[in-house]
Chains A and B, each alone.
Chain A
Amino acid sequence: MRKHQINLTVNSQVYQLEVGTGQGRVNPSDTLSFTLRETLGLTGTKLSCDGGACGGCTVLMDGEAVLSCMLLTIECDGKIITTIEGLKDAKTGELDPLQQSFIDHTAFQCGYCTPGMIMSAKALLNENPAPTEAEVKKALSGNFCRCISHYQVVRAVMDATGKGR
């Protein structure tokens, strides 16, 4: 069956997108990262390698960390997506404790890998609110940083769990 329309929930907002070419539509070959950034204007999700190898484009799909550059948007019909823009409190605008912890620990240099790092960490904390440091490192093993922010990142995540060291 060919789809003519898809429903995508991004950061609690439901989008009905037509399949096809042109502004605001989803081409069958569009990746989720492309749709988020170019079609929906959510540029918080970063694209680096576009090949599954860096983790920069990580978002949550039904609560799990996935690579938005390696998914076809048309195959995400009915899915619930959370991006970095969706972490803050929708009413008060207050940052997620994890985001605040990254700021408090200056857990970035250029910041390009940061949204992906935070989304992978968020997926871990959703499933396991009190991880060990080893579990944090495992969960972040698919997120690469060119600027060596990893040490601060691990501290920021541990701190956000209240287990800081």
Chain B
Amino acid sequence: MRTFDHIDVYSIAEACTTLREYQGRARLNAGGSDLLTVLKGDFLADYPEAVINLKTISGMDYIREDGEYLRIGTLTRLTDLVSSPLLKEKYPVLSEAAYTVATPQIRNVATLGGNLCQDTRCWYYRYPRSIGGPVQCLRKGSGPCLAIKGDNRYHAIMGGKKCFAVCPSDMAVALAALDGKVIIVGPEGERRVEVTDFYHPTGNELAKDEVVREIEIPIKRTPTQQSFRKFTLRKPIDFAIVSSATVITVAQGICTDARIVLGAVAPAPVRAKAAEELLIGKPITEETDTAAAEKALVGAKPLSKNEYKIQIAKTLVKQAILGVTD
């Protein structure tokens, strides 16, 4: 790894001002499990002058309910999301999703904020300098997207605009199913963004001097049935080929509210709203479930090598919905 200045910060505000001082030439480091792979690969044009350590900020790792919201601090480790009794009991979709991320050693350092802000895994984008990279592409601001004509087996089947890389974060999918919002701090104060709006076709919502502080989730008044499913080739370590998170409310056998979210199919987690609407007002049966899974994939436009993802996505949605009824 090429060297950089290293700065410990003690508050989110200090992180913002330090980012501003470096005018885009500094990167935040939380658990480092994504940032270090980016720096080692050295595939970006702007190798940072400074790395800003967020772990010296105290009190940013918490999971607590305060009346209307469940709040999770940005530095909360995935290990703590997996083992939290509160999440296991009331938000199992979060602990299940966290458990599917990477490996035990990575979950011991990886943070929720870092998981949401991690860089894309597109293999053209990440082609390392040491073996002939970096490769230029649209997301890097120069040239076309190489995945369109190239090997796009893990790329988007919907929602791609110019860049066809998928959102790699598993936590974003689960959070979207809980209507989670990302609380972002910048020089002008705080703002809240829906998890589904946090991702842009070629990056994310954060300006150069903004920092994620917290994830906010509205507490549901009625119990919900939640499930997270992830298809990978190897069980541990692998990123999702497709994932699905569902949060469903059933009263007297009838679905009264539903969130069905697809992951790794688009640049952001995708709410399958047509499928949600189809389920609401109906009992959850094999038939309605199959119909919802079909609806969820209407409009998918696979690239040359990833049509197989559609069938996997339908199956995951089906399993996720049925899984929550048994």
A interface list, Cβ under 8 A from B: 1-3, 19, 21, 27-29, 31, 50-53, 55, 58, 61, 64-67, 69-72, 74-75, 120, 138-139, 141-142
Q: How far is the CB of B160 from chain A (nearest CB, A)?
A: 27
By Cβ-Cβ distance, the 7 closest A-B pairs, closest first, are A142-B103, A28-B6, A141-B236, A29-B1, A29-B3, A67-B105, A142-B105
Tell me which residues across on chain B come within 8 A of A53, comparing CB atoms: 237
Q: How far is the CB of A84 from chain B (nearest CB, A)?
A: 15
Q: Is B135 an interface residue (CB 8 A)?
A: no
**CB contact between B4 and one of A29, A52, A61 (< 8 Å): that residue:** A29
Q: State in angstroms the CA–CA spacing of A48 and B106 once bound together.
A: 16
B 30-43 binary contact with A (CB < 8 Å = 1; else 0): 00110011011000
Q: How large is the interface on B (under 10, 10 to 19, 20 to 34, 35 or more residues)?
A: 20 to 34
Q: Is B109 an interface residue (CB 8 A)?
A: yes
Q: State in angstroms the CA–CA spacing of A16 and B153 once bound together.
A: 49
Q: Knowing A2-B5, A28-B6, A75-B29 are in contact, say whether A70-B106 is a contact too (CB < 8 A).
A: yes
Q: Knowing A70-B106, A141-B104, A141-B236 are in contact, say whether A28-B5 is a contact too (CB < 8 A).
A: yes
Q: Is B235 an interface residue (CB 8 A)?
A: yes
Q: Which residue of A lies closest to B99 (CB)?
A: A138
Q: Knowing A52-B33, A72-B32, A139-B104 are in contact, say whether A31-B109 is a contact too (CB < 8 A).
A: no
Are A70's CB and B32's CB within 8 A? yes
Contact residues of B between 1 and 32, Cβ < 8 Å to A? 1-10, 29, 32
Q: Which residue of B lies closest to A140 (CB)?
A: B104
Q: State in angstroms the CA–CA spacing of A52 and B10 once bound together.
A: 27
Are B236's CB and A142's CB within 8 A? yes
Q: Is B108 an interface residue (CB 8 A)?
A: yes
Are B105's CB and A72's CB within 8 A? no
Tell me which residues across on chain B come within 8 A of A55, comparing CB atoms: 103, 105
Q: State in angstroms the CA–CA spacing of A109 and B106 once bound together.
A: 26
Are A28's CB and B3's CB within 8 A? yes
Tell me which residues across on chain A come within 8 A of B322, comparing CB atoms: none
Q: State in angstroms the CA–CA spacing of A53 and B37 once bound together.
A: 10
Q: Count A-B pairs with CB separation below 8 Å.
A: 88
Q: Knowing A29-B2, A55-B105 are in contact, say whether A1-B7 is a contact too (CB < 8 A).
A: yes
Are B104's CB and A142's CB within 8 A? yes
**CB contact between A75 and one of B3, B32, B236 (< 8 Å): that residue:** B32
Are B51's CB and A70's CB within 8 A? no
Q: State in angstroms the CA–CA spacing of A21 and B4 once bound together.
A: 12
Q: Is B102 an interface residue (CB 8 A)?
A: yes
Are B3's CB and A1's CB within 8 A? no
**CB contact between B29 and one of A50, A58, A72 (< 8 Å): that residue:** A72
Q: Which residue of A lies closest to B55 (CB)?
A: A75
9 contacts across the A-B interface (CB closer than 8 A):
A21-B3, A64-B79, A66-B105, A67-B105, A72-B36, A74-B6, A141-B104, A141-B237, A142-B103
Q: Knowing A2-B6, A75-B55 are in contact, say whether A29-B39 is a contact too (CB < 8 A).
A: yes
Q: Is B53 an interface residue (CB 8 A)?
A: yes
Q: State in angstroms the CA–CA spacing of A51 and B82 once bound together.
A: 23
Tell me which residues across on chain A come within 8 A of B105, comparing CB atoms: 55, 58, 65-67, 120, 142
Are A52's CB and B106's CB within 8 A? yes
Are B108's CB and A66's CB within 8 A? yes
Q: Which residue of A lies closest to B2 (CB)?
A: A29
Q: Knowing A29-B1, A52-B102, A75-B55 are in contact, say whether A64-B108 is a contact too (CB < 8 A).
A: yes
Tell me which residues across on chain A come within 8 A of B29, comparing CB atoms: 72, 75
Q: How far is the CB of A52 from chain B (nearest CB, A)?
A: 6
Q: How far is the CB of B120 from chain A (nearest CB, A)?
A: 16
Q: Which residue of A lies closest to B54 (CB)?
A: A75
Tell me which residues across on chain B come within 8 A of A69, comparing CB atoms: 36
Are A75's CB and B53's CB within 8 A? yes
Contact residues of B between 96 and 122, Cβ < 8 Å to A? 102-106, 108-109
Tell me which residues across on chain A come within 8 A of B1, comparing CB atoms: 29, 31
Tell me which residues across on chain A come within 8 A of B33, comparing CB atoms: 52, 67, 70
Tell me which residues across on chain B come within 8 A of A31, comparing CB atoms: 1, 36
Q: State in angstroms the CA–CA spacing of A70 and B235 once bound together.
A: 21
Query: Which of B3, B105, B108 has the most chain A CB within a 10 Å cutoff?
Result: B105
**CB contact between B51 and one of A1, A51, A52, A72 (< 8 Å): that residue:** A72
Q: State in angstroms the CA–CA spacing of A3 and B56 once bound together.
A: 12
Tell me which residues across on chain B come within 8 A of A142, comparing CB atoms: 102-106, 236-237
Q: State in angstroms the CA–CA spacing of A30 and B235 once bound together.
A: 31
